[in-house]
Amino acid sequence: MASELDLSRDRLDAPFARRVEELSGENPYACYQCGKCSAGCPFADHMDALPNQVLRLVQLGDESALTLSAPWVCASCLACGVRCPKGVDIAKTMEALRLLALRKGISHFPLTPDRPCPQIALVGAFRKLTP
Ligand code: SF4
Ligand code: SF4
């Protein structure tokens, strides 16, 4: 039997989504999933979820977003934000997810030989991790 997706108001006002909004200053529910961000992301090929998919998980209050490598691959280049017709700054959302992951002890920086990532992504990630 196919699993059902709970799109009730309670679900969509999930504490996780509100926490991400609080940390990022960006309203995840402003996103209407047009996909322009993902189409313009230069690192999308290296992500395990596209930027709009990351936003969707946040909208649904799905904390599995914290286990994705995508926020760590994001180099905060801002290409997504300038393309977004709703003005969502996804780089800030990615930063909030990194913060929450670190607070929960989930380290997902993909520094493994079988999982290379672009050099600029490394630079961006280290910059974010520098106090
Ligand atoms: S471009 Fe903006 S509205 Fe479109 S999917 Fe990305 S975040 Fe959502
Ligand atoms: S800021 Fe991150 S998610 Fe947005 S286009 Fe750049 S690498 Fe992709």
Residue 102 has pLDDT above 70, yes or no: yes
What lines the ligand 2 site, CB under 6 Å?
41, 43, 51, 74-80, 90-91, 94
| Ligand 1 neighbour 32 (Cβ under 6 A) | yes
The answer to whether residue 29 sits within a structural domain is: yes
Which ligand number lies closest to the CA of residue 59? 1
Q: What is the pTM of this model?
A: 0.82
Give the domain range for residue 21. 9-129
- Tell me, what CATH number does 68's domain have? 1.10.1060
Say how many domains are in the chain: 1
Residue 120 has pLDDT above 80, yes or no: no
CA 82-91-12 angle, 5° bins: 100
Q: What's the average model confidence in pLDDT over 92-119?
A: 75
pLDDT in tens, 1-54: 456 766 676 667 689 999 999 999 999 999 999 999 999 999 999 999 999 999
Sign for the CA dihedral angle at 20, 26, 27, 28 comes to negative
Contact 68, 108 (CB under 8 A): yes
Contact 55, 71 (CB under 8 A): no
The answer to whether residue 4 sits within a structural domain is: no
pLDDT for position 22:
94
The residue whose CA is least distant from atom 4 of ligand 1 is 34
Q: What's the average model confidence in pLDDT over 57-65?
A: 92
